[in-house]
Chain A
Amino acid sequence: MAAVSMTVNGKAVTGDVEPRTLLVQFLRENLRLTGTHVGCDTSQCGACIIHIDGIAAKACTTLALQCEGAKITTIEGLAEAGGKLHPMQEAFREHHGLQCGYCTPGMIMSALDIVRRNGNNLDEHTIRDQLDGNICRCTGYHNIVKAIEAGAKAMAK
């Protein structure tokens, strides 16, 4: 076992993990932050996307120990303390950007990274292209794309 410490959603956390513990396991099983999902466990579906030091990554393909000292943001870290949703979350609700909801946390974390890289005015082509690493098994992409376009705009306000 090895000690690991990092900042998750602004809080300092520590844990004792096996070196083979994936970041997603650490988040879900040690910290009980179960908003980050495991869809495929093979780096393809994006349900596990979180931010490491502000940059989107797949938590199923990252070891917890690789994140020693890092700042992690998960879906739980987006809403304000009083429960007010992040503009991107709000846009997903408003535009019904989900069906079963399983891929949604990853979609939203990915959406924020698309905004980071491409700004707040996103066209449909950019969004679809940049969602390459997220799979919605319900195939509900149409509203997801609309939600991301609206959410990106709302974030600029």
Chain B
Amino acid sequence: MYNFTFHRPTTVRQAAGLLARNPDGKLLAGGHSLLPVMKQRLAQPSALVDLSLVEGMTGVELKGRSVVIGAMTRHADVANSQVLKDVMPGLAAVPGSIGDPQVRNRGTIGGSIANNDPNADYPAACLGLGATIITNKRRIAADDFFTGMFSTALEEGEIIVKISFPVAKKCAYEKFKHPASGFALVGVFVSKRGPDIRVAVTGAGSNGVFRVKSFEEALKKRFSPKSIEGMSIPATGMNADIHASPEYRAHLVAVLARRALAKANA
């Protein structure tokens, strides 16, 4: 790992100031994606701004008809949140599938979303629920936030403070977990909130997380696995690597979508 300067602000304002003064700096949340990448020297930030002491960035709260999660809330704390398990168990199940217990003890929701790894789980949950990403500058709809592999709508110096998820009566996540890495080979999040139906896919697309509009359309009549029986999505634009071909990933999308729908209705 190349060296860097290390900063521990206690307010979002201070953190933003430190980023402004260190244009090649990066925010450090749980560090479980960033530090491994720095060890491989694929990233060499001149400064790390550690957000762990910043006040008001952790916790899971029910606010009206939304669940608001602080960006620095660790995966384990989201998974164990009683509030979340009560109102939206489908979302609470997402962080429980990330990595291993020690990774879940350190990794954070904000870090996962800001990184937008094409195989990460939280981006599917955000897009699949129509979440709003709240930064120190503005509110960004999930539909506008994830702009491609490892890329987001975040601007220089912008800091995710919290994420607001509208409570969906029915929602669920199904994931084909890579046995070694724990990442989603393919993961599908489905939700139904009144007339708003969403099917979001991670792990499959070569451009990161995406929605399956054809499935969403078919599910309008009835939110059930039967409604998309026999449907498939084209393999074009799917990821190809040593783990799976584009055709296999496209196939998994339909299989996992049906399983997720069954789970959401259970």
Contact = CB atoms under 8 A, between A and B. Distances in A.
A94 B222 CA distance: 58
Contacts, number: 70
B106 A57 contact: yes
Given A19-B4, A43-B36, A66-B52, A56 B31 contact: no
Contacts of B1: 20
A2 B8 CA distance: 12
Contacts of B35: 61-63
A49 B102 contact: yes
B70 to A, nearest CB: 17
Main secondary structure on A side of the interface with B: mixed
B32 A43 contact: yes
B39 A41 contact: yes
B50 interface: yes
B3 interface: yes
B236 interface: no
Interface string B1-30: 111111010000000000000000000100
B52 A19 contact: no
A132 B182 contact: yes
Given A43-B36, A43-B103, A55-B105, A20 B31 contact: no
A45 B184 CA distance: 19
B100 A133 contact: yes
A57 B102 contact: yes
Interface in B200-255: none
A142 to B, nearest CB: 19
A65 B7 CA distance: 9
Which residue of A55, A62, A66 has the most chain B CB atoms within 10 A of its CB atom? A66
Contacts of B101: 56, 110, 113-114, 117, 130, 132-133
A139 interface: no
Interface of A: 2, 18-20, 41-44, 46, 49, 55-58, 61-63, 65-66, 68, 110, 113-114, 117, 130, 132-133
